[in-house]
Amino acid sequence: MLRSLVRARPLRSKPLPRYGQWSSPFIFVLAVIGSAMGLGNIWRFPYLVGQYGGSAFVLVYLACVVAVGLPLMVAELMLGRRSRCTPIYGLLRIAREEGLSGGWSVIGWLGSVTGMLALSAYSIVGGWSMAYVFRSAAGAFHELDAVAAARLFQELTDDPERLLAWHTLFMAMTILVVGRGVRYGLEEAVRWFVPVLLTILGILVFYAHGQPSFDRAVDFLLRADFARLDATALLAALGHAFFSLSLGLGALVIYGAYAPERVSLLAVAPVVVLTDALVGLLAGLALVPVVFQAGLSVVPGPGLIFQTLPLAFGTIPGGQLMATLFFTMLVLAIWISAISMLEPAVTYVMKRWRVERSLAASLVGVLVWSLGVLSLLSFNLWSHLQPLGSWSPLGRGTFFDVLNFFVTGLLLPLTGLLTALFVGWRMSADSSRIELGGGWGYRLWLVLIRFTTPVAVVLLFLHAMGLV
């Protein structure tokens, strides 16, 4: 299969990647998969599938992936590999080459800044997950009841100092990897974490398979219930495709910048999106049987992972070990995704101020860390602050809620839309053909990125604004 990912020969001479290069096509694919697999798959996908009609939702999700996710993933990887540069300067370079306005570098700006904003919130959840590794290993979930499980989580979120310590540790781990560079940081992390993560997932699914409630969980996840597929489900699928495939943050642009020249990007993207969807489904098969076995139901939001699951694992045999494995897997998944969120801004700082990678990673990391402090305070000392008041699409949200809303509801779709317009309509088809290699796959991609993607993204956007 690997052979089909590799193109016959390099296309032409281009600037060499400045900050590093993946050492093989396989590592490149693994890195993109690592960025994609994260909270989105483990936490959100199983819930969405159950909520919106099982395999009917999976079908709609796959349709969104084909219409929007795949074309945008190819576009972002291509922009990276073509420019071989950090997203901000890379877009500037391509725009100039094409005789277009340098203003298009706004795509790089939006992506890099959104990556920092997203990471500041993601890191908080990374911290919670690390706390839960220790809690599960120490047997804190044994024979919990619902009230105690809720209290356990609340004790954590209510305590700003504890949250700060976990958030700081998580950001330090992310900075450490990014600071070590592509070969010895990002690549080493991906090489180890992705296989370990998939192995743990396999063990968890195997364990869940032994539970009497497995069949009921399969039914919950896979029975097609088309009646539940309404417009909300469609937009949830579309929004999820964005987040789950790491689109719109510049992460794939910078990962594309390190891609070997001989890899076919049109072949890599389908492998990544299928793996990502499969990981989401497997996460569902690992979690839902455990939840059902304990007589609980699958709830949305942080409650599923940090209250329902501890409760469920606490009541079934072998639950302590499985819970520890689960939270370890979650930490790894969040960690490798976090790395890709930080990388675009770090490479910008390296180029802009000509500083060493480790210094750039620390500077950007501290900035993200400070933003994260605002998020973590919104769970306790500032929980009464509602920055947007009762502005309707959001309800009365805290800083953390507002941040998530802006990132997933507005900034990601906006960057996606601009990327589709730039690549589909402004960049010459010759340039994209050179990078992607022509053929029917290329022609199909061009149609999707020109027409389907922008229309779908505008819909998502209007929905986020509460207009559809």
Euclidean distance between CA atoms 249 and 241, whole angstroms = 13
Which stretch, 161-169, 182-190, 209-217, 241-249, contacts ligand PFF (CB under 6 A)? Answer: 241-249
Residues forming beta bridges with residue 406, ordered by sequence position: none
- CA distance readout (Å), 81 to 87, 319, 396, 431, 455: 10, 45, 42, 12, 26
By the rule CB under 6 A, 243 interacts with ligand PFF: yes
CB atoms within 10 A of CB 397: 20
Nearer to ligand PFF, 41 or 404 (CB): 41
CB 34 within 8 A of CB 252: no
By the rule CB under 6 A, 341 interacts with ligand PFF: yes
Q: How far is the CB of 178 from ligand PFF (least distance, A)?
A: 13
Burial of 389 (0-12, 13-18, 19+ CB in 10 A): exposed
DSSP 8-state symbol, 6: B
By the rule CB under 6 A, 329 interacts with ligand PFF: no
CB 22 within 8 A of CB 187: yes
By the rule CB under 6 A, 251 interacts with ligand PFF: yes
DSSP letters, 247-314, are TTSSHHHHHHHTS-TTB-HHHHHHHHHHHHHHHHHHHHHHHHHHHHHTT----SSHHIIIIIHHHHHH
Instruction: Map 84-146 to HEC letters.
Output: CCCHHHHHHHHHHHCCCCHHHHHHHHHHHHHHHHHHHHHHHHHHHHHHHHHHHHCCCCCCCCH
Applying CB under 6 A, what is the total number of residues that bind ligand PFF?
Answer: 15
Near ligand PFF by CB under 6 A: residue from 244, 324, 415, 453: 244
By the rule CB under 6 A, 36 interacts with ligand PFF: yes
Which stretch, 51-59, 229-237, 239-247, 315-323, contacts ligand PFF (CB under 6 A)? Answer: 239-247
Euclidean distance between CA atoms 255 and 337, whole angstroms = 12
Near ligand PFF by CB under 6 A: residue from 7, 21, 34, 35: 35
Helix, strand, coil % (nearest 5) of the chain?
A: 75, 0, 25
Site string for ligand PFF, 205-224 (x = CB under 6 A): --------------------
Near ligand PFF by CB under 6 A: residue from 117, 121, 177, 249: 249
Euclidean distance between CA atoms 7 and 10, whole angstroms = 7
Q: How far is the CB of 243 from ligand PFF (least distance, A)?
A: 5
CB 423 within 8 A of CB 107: no
Nearer to ligand PFF, 375 or 386 (CB): 375
Structure tokens at 320: 């302590």
Nearer to ligand PFF, 39 or 263 (CB): 39
By the rule CB under 6 A, 40 interacts with ligand PFF: yes
Nearer to ligand PFF, 152 or 237 (CB): 237
By the rule CB under 6 A, 123 interacts with ligand PFF: no
Nearer to ligand PFF, 42 or 144 (CB): 42
By the rule CB under 6 A, 347 interacts with ligand PFF: no
By the rule CB under 6 A, 408 interacts with ligand PFF: no
Structure tokens at 188: 């080493």
Q: How far is the CB of 33 from ligand PFF (least distance, A)?
A: 10
By the rule CB under 6 A, 339 interacts with ligand PFF: no
Which stretch, 47-55, 80-88, 137-145, 240-248, contacts ligand PFF (CB under 6 A)? Answer: 240-248
Near ligand PFF by CB under 6 A: residue from 213, 246, 307, 408: 246
Nearer to ligand PFF, 86 or 340 (CB): 340
By the rule CB under 6 A, 368 interacts with ligand PFF: no
By the rule CB under 6 A, 39 interacts with ligand PFF: yes
Which stretch, 93-101, 180-188, 286-294, 335-343, contacts ligand PFF (CB under 6 A)? Answer: 335-343
- CA distance readout (Å), 340 to 25, 116, 346: 18, 10, 10
By the rule CB under 6 A, 38 interacts with ligand PFF: yes
| Amino acid at position 305, single letter | I
Q: By C-alpha distance, which of 194, 218, 175 is closest to 272?
A: 194
Q: How far is the CB of 334 from ligand PFF (least distance, A)?
A: 7
| Interaction site with ligand PFF (CB under 6 A) | 35-36, 38-41, 115, 243-244, 246, 249, 251, 337, 340-341
